[in-house]
Every structure is written in structure tokens, then in C-alpha cells.
Amino acid sequence: MGIDISDGIESGKVTVKVLSTNEISLTLLTEDKFNGKVIHPGATANRAIGEHGLALSISIEDNDERHLFLLDTGGLSQTIVNNSKQLGVNLNEVEKFILSHGHFDHFGGISEVFPLFDKGTEIYLNPICFNQNYIAVMKSGEEIPADVLGENLRTLSKEGKLSVNKKLPLLGKNMIDNLVDQYGLKLIETKDPQRLFKGIVTSGEIELFDKSERTKGIYIQKSRSEFVDHYFRDETSIYINVKDKGLVVITGCGHCGIINTIKHGQKLTGIDKIYAVIGGFHEEWNPIEKIEEKVKYLETLNPEITCGMHCTGFKFNKLMSRHPSHTLGIVGTEFRL
């Protein structure tokens, strides 16, 4: 399936703002190399809250109109509500909300954010986001086959072989339905790409050109002892065509793999030139060799802006910093695209 967003958005008319991520800073300086395209908040973020979560606002200027979209709500409701006020983003003006996937650090603020939306605000999510997720990561780095996990989970835990072993908080379908009904919102459950505005589209299910790139150690739990491999069919990214610049790729966690996510966007939109890559890339669990491969791939694409935050990890940012597109993303960072 392809979607035509060749109409695009004029350069300088798109602003992406970080409302929630893991880091805050008042002393991170805005870098001159971006010529005003990446702005760090400085003292503006003096009361901002950092957390393990992600939320990004996307503002579009079109003629005399302004449109506001929101990707995710972070993990704690007080974080995004507080930071939005601090950073001058009015959540009442959000026209479309997109949930990147069904993990608590991206949906945790929903119960406080949805009541702030006006009636008719569109809510986009993939119905698979309601599945129960489970994390089981071996200290050895070895991946546990899903069909073996249920029989061996207790044994592996007792033997101390797991570095992470936990059920993730579940996104409740009833909660979403109740909030949508109570506040007059419009729920759009779909696995297909959706055109949000001229020049902007959601990814739909991201094609796994290389299945080995997906995040390992996360499973869908069917029952107490039944697990299946998680291929993150609910993962949703956003692609924006900025005229004369190329494609902006915005990710939640990038569980499908940042290379898969970029290639999917190129195939979906027919736009090969990558202008910016922004969001979570989930590289914290990967060995340095895998991270090096991804950094080299991005260097080959040569985007103007590369910003991996949230779950991206220190090692990726250290390696990526050798490329001029690299920048750090903190609460309050603005990308003026």
C-alpha cells in the first residue's frame, strides 16, 4: 500500500516539540550548526519533569490555520500535563492523537489527557495495542523462544538467569472506550496507514524487511503459560514530507527497528530522501556491533537531523555524535522543520 503525500508541507511550517522524555536540562546549549532548526529550552524548562516516557507535539501552519497533533502521552499523567503548560502547548487544541504502541511509558497519561481534548478529537491506535506484553531478558543476551518461555519461565527466574522478568501494565480497552464515549472523541482503530493532513501519514503496520532488527525479549502473553513472539504489529510511526527537504521519520520506541521503520516510510510514501529522524530508537539492549551497523546506515542516508531519545541509549548517541546531524533531545527541545 502506498500513500501520496507528495503535496508536502512548506519548510519552516512544522514544529515538533518534546513534551516528555527521560532527560531534562537547563544548561544544554542550542547548537548553531542547525541554523535555528533545533532549539533547546534552556531556562524555559526550569520546572519541567523528566520521566521514562515519550510524548511529542506536532504543530503545522497552513496558510492562516494552525493544526496540532499529539504522539503519545508519556508514562505519568502529571508529566505531560505539567510540561505542556510549562512549554506553551495547549492540549485542548489537539485535533488528532496517535498512540505509537501499547506500552505504559507511552499511554500512561491518557486518563488525564483525553478529558482535555475537545469533542471530535480523533484518536488513532492499532487494536493490537491492547495485548498483554511481557518482558523476559536473559543475562546472557540469548533470546528465549516463545514456545519455550512458558515452560521455563519459573525455572529461569529461580536460577537467576533473567535480568528483566515482568508483566507490563495493560492498556485497557474498556478505559479507552469509556473515555471516548464520555468526552465525545472519535476512535479510529486501524492497522492501516492513515493520512493525517497533507504531507503527513501514519505508518500502519511497519514492514519488517529484517525481522532480526526488532526488539528482542518482549513477548505477547496469551495465558499464564502461553507466550508468542512479539513482532510489534501495533507499532505506529509518523512520516512527514517537508517540501524540498525530504521525509521526517518520527518514532515512539522504534521496536520494529529504526532501519525497518525508515525503509517502510520510503516504500509507503515513495520518498527516498530522509530529512530528519526523531524519537525513540530502542538501542539500549543491543550490542555495540548492531548499534554501529545502524549508525553507519544513518550516516549513509545523511539526514540533516538525527535525534534518538527516550529508549535510544547512551551507546547509540555516543557513536552517532560523530555525524553532524546528531543532537540530543530533552524535555522542551523544539524541531523547527
CATH of the domain at 194: 3.60.15.10
Q: Which pLDDT value is given to residue 314?
A: 96
Q: Is the pLDDT of residue 224 over 90?
A: no
- Mean pLDDT of the region 128-143: 92
Domain assignment present for residue 184? The answer is: yes
In angstroms, the CA 50 to CA 330 distance is 8
pLDDT tens-digit readout, 1-37: 799 999 999 999 999 999 999 999 999 999 999 999 9
Q: Is the pLDDT of residue 45 over 80?
A: yes
**pLDDT mean across residues, the chain:** 96
Residues of the chain with pLDDT > 90, as a percent, come to 91
Domain assignment present for residue 228? The answer is: no
Of 158-167, 191-200, 303-312, where does mean pLDDT reach its minimum? Answer: 158-167
Q: Which pLDDT value is given to residue 190?
A: 97
Q: Which pLDDT value is given to residue 175?
A: 97
pLDDT band for position 150 (cuts 50, 70, 90): confident
- Mean pLDDT of the region 165-191: 97
Domain assignment present for residue 219? The answer is: no
**Other beta carbons less than 10 A from residue 184's beta carbon:** 11
Domain assignment present for residue 94? The answer is: yes
State if pTM tops 0.85: yes
60 Cβ neighbours under 8 A, 6+ residues apart: 9, 13, 14, 66, 67, 68, 69, 197, 200
Q: Which pLDDT value is given to residue 242?
A: 98
Q: Which pLDDT value is given to residue 1?
A: 73
Domain assignment present for residue 143? The answer is: no
Q: Which pLDDT value is given to residue 290?
A: 95
pLDDT band for position 140 (cuts 50, 70, 90): confident
Domain extent, residue 271, equals 14-129+175-209+234-336
pLDDT tens-digit readout, 296-306: 999 999 999 99
Domain assignment present for residue 106? The answer is: yes
Domain assignment present for residue 144? The answer is: no
Domain assignment present for residue 2? The answer is: no
Domain count, the chain: 1
pLDDT band for position 177 (cuts 50, 70, 90): very high
Q: Which pLDDT value is given to residue 188?
A: 98
